[in-house]
Amino acid sequence: MIKVELLQRQDEGIWDEFVNNHPEGRFSQTIAYKKVLEETYGYTAKYIVLKKDNQILSVLPIFYWKNILGMKNLVSMPFADYGGVLTKNINKPEADILINFVKEIINKSDVPSLKINANIDLDKQDHLLNYFVKKKNDQRAVLTLSPAKILWEDVFDRSVKKCVNAAYREGLKCEIETSLDSIGNHFYPLYLKTMKRFGTPPHSLLYFQNKLKYFNDKMKLFLVKDGGVTVAALLGFALGETVQITKTASDLRYWHKRPNDLVHWEFIKWATENNFKRFDFGPVRYENQAQYKVKWGAKLLDNYSYYLFSQKANKTKEIRSGKSPLGSKLFEKCFSKIWSYLPVGVTENFGPFIRKNIGR
């Protein structure tokens, strides 16, 4: 018997088991991430489960929110590089049942479409993929892991080894320090300064505290210190077969000591020692970023957004706009420039409000 429904509390355990065991499962598709967004930003979760004889065939996590401008949003997943469907091989009638249920949610939410960020598994599911419109995005960089010694000797570019060795000679130390104290007193102040430098509104401290609260040992924070000063940080999540890094922060005054290279090497080495198969560097948005990630042996892969439209939606306009309340690319560029000049105290106070309203 085929059944599709919104997730029930008693099924949260088997949802996570399904995500954890799926080859393309990511931390942003778990129940922990659901709780983080509910508690931090007050978004409404609509987690969909397709079952056959009480066994999960597919899951689709979605969030709904209405921003200050009155725009309604339906996204899988906010603030995350990956979202969308995870599924076993399903036939066309099963796919039809799932999609019809999702379309009902789109219509009831009064939005033009559901937007899905980088749904890797969807491209492998022809019966589902036929319903969606794909939009090419920036690439992503993924390193296939092998023993650390092999990576060091045969995969990494010479410049990697040169920079990491330079960091060691400078006396930098890198350790895992995933705790509330490290997040609040070491990572977050550095993160605020980094986001200001990028011209990007930051998340709240509560966002990261809630991540630790719900992800526990699946969340990893690596810190690089020069004496007692934290000079670089790398935050990521270890789930299933994949380690995925999500936030990097560093003090540019120490860049000549190569702390960023050291923190990436230590995180990659940890991933190999703990038998993970992939190290996901995340999106690649500009040339220098591509060069940095490729030197570690990461492969650049195509990345897409996927749209499932309501019948009344203007598909071309919807895809072009990206549903961003900030509007055009030119406006975003100007906003970013202005934001980078604001005092850190201002960005810390107003950044989370902006984040909540744009959902990215």
Q: Are residues 132 and 21 in the same domain?
A: yes
Q: Are residues 131 and 222 in the same domain?
A: no
Q: For residue 233, what are its two tokens?
A: 């940080």
Q: Which of 276, 291, 321 is the last residue of a domain?
A: 276
346 belongs to a structural domain? no
Q: Are residues 178 and 245 in the same domain?
A: yes
Residues 21-61 have pLDDT tens digits of 999 999 999 999 999 999 999 999 999 999 998 899 999 99
333 belongs to a structural domain? no
83 belongs to a structural domain? yes
Question: How far apart are the C-alpha atoms of 34 and 28, rounded to whole Å?
Answer: 8
Q: Quote the domain boundaries for residue 163.
A: 146-276
Q: Are residues 151 and 271 in the same domain?
A: yes
Q: Are residues 55 and 114 in the same domain?
A: yes
Q: Are residues 129 and 226 in the same domain?
A: no
Question: How far apart are the C-alpha atoms of 133 and 336, rounded to whole Å?
Answer: 29
214 belongs to a structural domain? yes
219 belongs to a structural domain? yes
- Give the helix/strand (H/E) hosting 95: helix 92-109
207 belongs to a structural domain? yes
Contact 325, 71 (CB under 8 A): yes
Q: Are residues 113 and 220 in the same domain?
A: no
Contact 219, 237 (CB under 8 A): yes
Q: Are residues 84 and 197 in the same domain?
A: no
Q: Are residues 150 and 129 in the same domain?
A: no
33 belongs to a structural domain? yes
* Alpha-helical segments (H) within 199-343: 205-215, 259-273, 287-294, 315-321, 329-339
Question: How far apart are the C-alpha atoms of 271 and 262, rounded to whole Å?
Answer: 14
205 belongs to a structural domain? yes
Distance from first CA to last CA of the chain, Å, rounded?
A: 38
Q: Are residues 82 and 161 in the same domain?
A: no
Domain containing residue 106: CATH number = 3.40.630.30
Contacts of 333 (CB under 8 A, 6+ apart): none
Q: pLDDT tens, position by position, for the chain (360 residues)?
A: 899 999 999 999 999 999 999 999 999 999 999 999 999 999 999 999 999 988 999 999 999 999 988 899 999 999 999 999 999 889 999 999 999 999 999 999 999 999 999 888 888 888 899 999 999 988 999 999 999 999 999 999 999 999 999 999 999 999 999 999 999 999 999 999 999 999 999 999 999 999 999 999 999 999 999 999 999 999 999 999 999 999 999 999 999 999 999 999 999 999 999 999 999 999 998 899 999 999 999 999 999 999 999 866 555 555 555 444 445 567 777 888 888 888 988 899 999 999 999 988
Domain count, the chain: 2
